[in-house]
Amino acid sequence: MKTIQLYLLPIAFVVLILSSGCANSQKGNGDPEEIIQLIPMPNKVKVSRGFLEISSGFKLNFAEVTTDIENNLISYLESTSLNISGSGIATHLSVKHPSSYYYSDEYYSLSVNKDGVKINAASEAGLFYAIQTLIQLVEQNPDKLPYIEIEDSSRFAYRGMHIDVSRHFFSLDFLKKQIDMMAHYKLNRFHWHLTDGPGWRIEIKQYPALTNIAAWRTHSLWKEWWASGRKYAYEGNPNTYGGYYTQEEVRELVEYAAKRHITIIPEIEMPGHSEEVLAVYPQLSCTEKPYTSSEFCIGNEETFVFLENVLDEIMEIFPSPYIHVGGDEASKEHWKKCPKCQERIKKENLKDEAELQSYLIRRIEKYLHSKGRELIGWDEILEGGLEKSTIVMNWRNEKIGIEAAQSGHKVIMTPGKYTYFNSYQSSPEKEPEAMGGFLPLAKVYSYNPLPDTLSANYIENIWGVQGCLWTEYVPTEEHAEYMLYPRMLALAEVAWTNPENKSWESFKYRVNRSIPILQQKGYNTFTLSKEPEILMENDSLNKAIAISLSSEICPVEIGYTTDGSAVTSRSQLYESPILVKDSAILKTQLFRVGTPLGDVLEKRIDYHKAIGKKIEYLNPYNRYYPASGENSLIDGLHGSFSHGDGHWQGFIGAPFDVIIDLDETDSLRHVRINFLQNANAEIWLPKEITISLSNDRNGNFELVATFNNSIASDKSGTFFKSFEWNGSQQARFIRITATINPAVRGWVFADEIVVW
């Protein structure tokens, strides 16, 4: 028998998967190369020639497995599609930690050959994951399994998915359905965002107003509720929106998840994001009045009585060793003015309100520790100092998480830039309204929670990685699935598969094959972007912009033109990077066997006069949005729909005001600047833009263009607008200013100033 060497460590794997990628995927089932469609990709796989007929199902034979494990597995398998009832093929299962392996407790091996199926796992969880792999193999090869040998183990111990049920409420059945899929892709933590200003979602017997009132609001849609003063209402009032889970329901979900080796980590927000609690128990806020504050009063002992009582009930229901207490985005303004908070600061010898927040976190952590639990909080909790025992969940810049790991904290990485699934996954104008930002599948897949720069001493502190779904703009369960899938599959591979065994081309192929399976199972998955992705790079050697085109969908053809003509199925097909040495209008579209798949995408590309020249900032760009630094506005590369993509530069406070120096006087005929608007992120197109030219940096600049922008600052959605001067003038210096409407607080985001 010929063996195809497919040991997944490194090169052989990549070669095989690439060659079996999108280009060849018209092959019929049965080719061994078609078989490796598993997600997450196991860490070691060998496929051999040969197949095992499985039409008679699987006959399980447990050896060295406790009765408990056996019963748990059989009861779980009854809820799956795996046929274990027939006379079936011999399937040996054992649970025994392999002595020679450094692998984690989630290790399993799985082999399929002429004698049947054999699984050994290091633990019950490992056995469960072996079964998930087997289920995927059967789904993809329903009649006969390829001969295969897998040895596999997780990269990260914490592999999480978060769902916000406060902004919009989702049913228990919906959550069970998502837990099924999380387990199928080997995720093992469900972070349940149960409380937040838009609604409290869990029954607490000692505080009935949390669910009689704080769980219900006057409007279901986020924007309408905000525009109407963000009020709560009594349960049962006409037209209220909301809901909550009874303790009995929560127990049911906890048990359901545990059977699938998923720990549910509840999040109870404190001290901020607590408007709903303070509306019904206003005595716990600094003002003692409802609808005035989002933060608990930390000077008030009653706050701690409340929080500990709530946590007691939470710990009663959730066996999770970890309790998430939020800690993000707390305003410190009320604490500054509150006599009780100031008294607490004095009495406890605290430096400021940041330390006051830490006082609360430390005190709650101590309480949780006294009950045998550990505390997790969002990364803002670092700001006033923390015990080393505290687990930090990093959602802002990844640097914060890495530094926390270096200072000894256990860290869960969920940086918004890579893991917030509330962002757009394709062009905003073609998608339902989202929170903003742009997070296509490839970006999720590209995330590496363990940067090479992290020294080996701290690697263990990066506990794992998580995806988050915030639901301000996710009003329905169908929409939630649309945002979760297939990005959750990319996250699963980030969390499970070692980087040397990951390959975007391979994943893309597998995810394309997984989408119909998800749909068959009733998941409303996003079916991948129908637009080509345009990547631009500055090729300074050739003095050109190099354009690469790619697509999430495969197999596909990518047609394009650069001369302004219409793109059709007969246009040039993309094969390798296109160089634009001056100016071009790129038109590109996806086709499958000659039929267009989506709309034409059009982009102006310019290798223009200002590239590589100097730029002076009369008011600096904001340090949190530097793009790639000083040259970002004149590097020939344009920002995408995400203001955090490394191309858009952010300005706040003082007006945008820059001077470009072209080194020598030149004949100018065109100056253009592009701005972004994303109302949800408080990024506005400027109100007034000016362009001035001069031959002398310190002399008079001649104003050549003024634009009074007419797009209303409250217009929703994410879009760009460019402003351009066309004329004929000699000049060396170009000054551009932009101011926003003083009536709106917020940002100006600029990218690329094009000069011809």
Interacting residue ranges for ligand ACM, rule: CB under 6 A: 328-329, 378, 395
Report the nearest approach of ligand ACM to the CB of residue 329 (Å): 5
Q: Which is nearer to ligand ACM, 329 or 478 (CB)?
A: 329
State phi, psi for 446 to the nearest 5 degrees: -75, -10
Q: Which is nearer to ligand ACM, 20 or 423 (CB)?
A: 423
Q: Write out the H or E segment, with its range, that includes residue 286.
A: none
Give the separation between CA 633 and CA 606, rounded to whole angstroms: 13
Report the nearest approach of ligand ACM to the CB of residue 58 (Å): 43
Report the nearest approach of ligand ACM to the CB of residue 191 (Å): 11
Token pair listed for 163: 């769902």
Mark whether 329 is an active-site residue. yes
Token pair listed for 702: 């001649």
Select which of 162, 273, 409, 638 is catalytic: 273
Report the nearest approach of ligand ACM to the CB of residue 383 (Å): 14
Report the nearest approach of ligand ACM to the CB of residue 273 (Å): 8
Give the separation between CA 512 and CA 506, rounded to whole angstroms: 10
Token pair listed for 756: 């011809």
Q: Which is nearer to ligand ACM, 116 or 197 (CB)?
A: 197
Q: Is the dihedral of CA 468, 471, 474, 476 positive or negative?
A: positive
Helical axes 477-484 vs 487-496, angle rounded to 10°:
50
Select which of 196, 275, 276, 606 is catalytic: 196
Instruction: Give CA angle at 249 (245, 253), nearest 5°.
Output: 110
Contact 200, 306 (CB under 8 A): no
b/e map of 183-200 (b: 16 or more CB within 10 Å)?
Answer: bbbbbbbbbbbbbbbbbb
Give the separation between CA 334 and CA 350, rounded to whole angstroms: 16
Mark whether 478 is an active-site residue. no
Q: Which is nearer to ligand ACM, 108 or 378 (CB)?
A: 378
Report the nearest approach of ligand ACM to the CB of residue 395 (Å): 4
Q: Which is nearer to ligand ACM, 194 or 549 (CB)?
A: 194
The owner of tokens 């940086």 is: 415
Residue 371 amino acid letter: K
Q: Which is nearer to ligand ACM, 156 or 378 (CB)?
A: 378
* CA 136 to each of CA 142, 395, 644: distance values in angstroms, whole numbers, following the listed order: 10, 32, 36
Report the nearest approach of ligand ACM to the CB of residue 435 (Å): 10
**3-state percent helix, strand, coil for the chain, nearest multiple of 5:** 30, 30, 45
Select which of 64, 255, 312, 329 is catalytic: 329
Mark whether 500 is an active-site residue. no
- Other Cβ atoms less than 10 A from the Cβ of 247: the count is 15
Q: Which is nearer to ligand ACM, 328 or 645 (CB)?
A: 328
**DSSP codes joined into one string, 674-725:** EEEEEGGGTB---SEEEEEEESSTTSPPEEEEEEE--S-TT--SEEEEEEEE
Residue count of the chain: 756
Enzyme catalytic residues: 196, 273, 329
